Copies of this chain bind each other. A is one copy, B any other.
Amino acid sequence: MRSKKRTTIYDIAEKLNLNPSSVSRALNNSSSVNDATKKLILKTAKELNYTRNTLASNLRKGHSKTIGVVVPRINQNFFSNVIAGIEDATYKQGYNLIICQSNEQYEKEVQCVNTLINQHVDCIVISVSVETTAHDHLQNVLDHGIQLIQFDRVVDELETLKVTNDNEQSSFDAVSHMITQGYKRIALLEGPQKLNIFRQRKTGYLRALKEHGIAPIADLMIENAWTKELSAAATRQLLSLPEPPDAIFASTSDFSALGVLEVATIMQIKVPQQLGICGYANENFTEITSPSITTIDQFSFYMGKTVANLYFQEMENTDTVVVPKVISIKPKLITRASTTRE
């Protein structure tokens, strides 16, 4: 299918024997064009089925009214909620969203970012991939004078606007809660420690143990258990220990927690009596497993809105100096059956 020629302001101008500039002004509701002509132009525009060519307009105006978003995976609950939140806020301001997914690959992330730079987006919002350690590509965004906002998984070294969860605190809360419930040997399933969020969660875990006078045990901390399968394997390993844990904090995700639960069920270990389980992210299934799983809500939709609003707020700020601003959202522990023993 070949697209037909679209009507432009020149077409309208020609038809009405006017200058394109007047048409443009009328369309932008400028006060320096006569009301009668304005009405006529608007009417003709409608007749000719005119729509503004945003490409041309943006080129002239020097901005694109577009925000680029890079996430590891679009179809992951947390991220799709954040995106929904961003969309909700930006839409009202007439902004568009270009969405890319890095698929957790550094190479693709770099490509995505570069494409967005080419597109001359006004702002790039990113949550980095697991593989990302270098950050030249992000520096590059800054070098192009494009606003950069990091969220959730952020590169600490880079001074940009950031919206994060207070992972350490929520992790601390979760572990403290488990201790209060009488669990004594709490294991930790860790995510890749490259990512700051997983480091923070570990810190929170350790702090909680320390504050309750419990010595951390190396054998109870398993690295890189960040998928359901890896967690299931880790759980088997943990439960076959001479002194197995009486609780497992799957700090990486609810999917991990699910893996733990499944193994426990198979091994006929009673949850929460013999084993407490806590996940992370408040996926909707955590409510309906049996037993339901204690987890942590990250307020993802709200997080998206916060990101967008941070941008708009920063926009209005005419100062040339960018003050790196970090907004930390405190996640909420949701206690459910999997850690509740009376």
Contacts and interface: CB of A to CB of B under 8 A. Distances in A.
A143 B49 CA distance: 8
A87 interface: yes
Contact of A98 (B96, B146, B258, B314): B96
Contacts of A83: 74-75, 99
Given A73-B84, A87-B101, A97-B98, A114 B55 contact: no
Interface in A262-302: 262, 284-285, 288-290, 301
Given A1-B317, A1-B319, A56-B59, 19 more contacts: A1-B314, A2-B320, A3-B146, A6-B144, A51-B114, A51-B118, A54-B118, A54-B119, A55-B55, A55-B59, A55-B119, A73-B84, A84-B101, A87-B99, A96-B100, A97-B99, A262-B288, A285-B285, A288-B289
A1 to B, nearest CB: 5
Contacts of A51: 114, 117-118, 144
Interface residues of A, number: 60
A147 B2 CA distance: 9
Number of copies: 2
A58 interface: yes
A80 interface: yes
13 contacts: A1-B145, A1-B147, A1-B314, A54-B119, A55-B55, A73-B84, A75-B81, A83-B99, A84-B101, A87-B99, A96-B98, A97-B98, A98-B99
A87 B83 CA distance: 15
Ranked 3 nearest A-B pairs via Cβ? A3-B145, A285-B285, A75-B80
Interface in A91-140: 91, 94, 96-101, 114-115, 117-120, 140
Contacts of A322: 1
Contacts of A147: 1, 3
B3 A144 contact: yes
Contacts of A115: 94, 96
User: Could you say which of A51, A94, A146 has the most chain B C-beta atoms within 10 Å of its C-beta?
Assistant: A51
A115 to B, nearest CB: 7
A318 interface: yes
B49 A59 contact: no
A262 B96 CA distance: 40
Contact of A49 (B75, B96, B98, B144): B144
User: Could you say which of A55, A87, A289 has the most chain B C-beta atoms within 10 Å of its C-beta?
Assistant: A55
Given A87-B74, A288-B258, A301-B75, A145 B4 contact: yes
Interface string A129-173: 000000000001001111100000000000000000000000000
Contacts of A146: 3
A309 interface: no
Contacts of A258: 288
Contacts of A55: 55, 58-59, 64, 119-120
A53 interface: yes
A210 interface: no
User: Could you say which of A91, A114, A143 has the most chain B C-beta atoms within 10 Å of its C-beta?
Assistant: A91
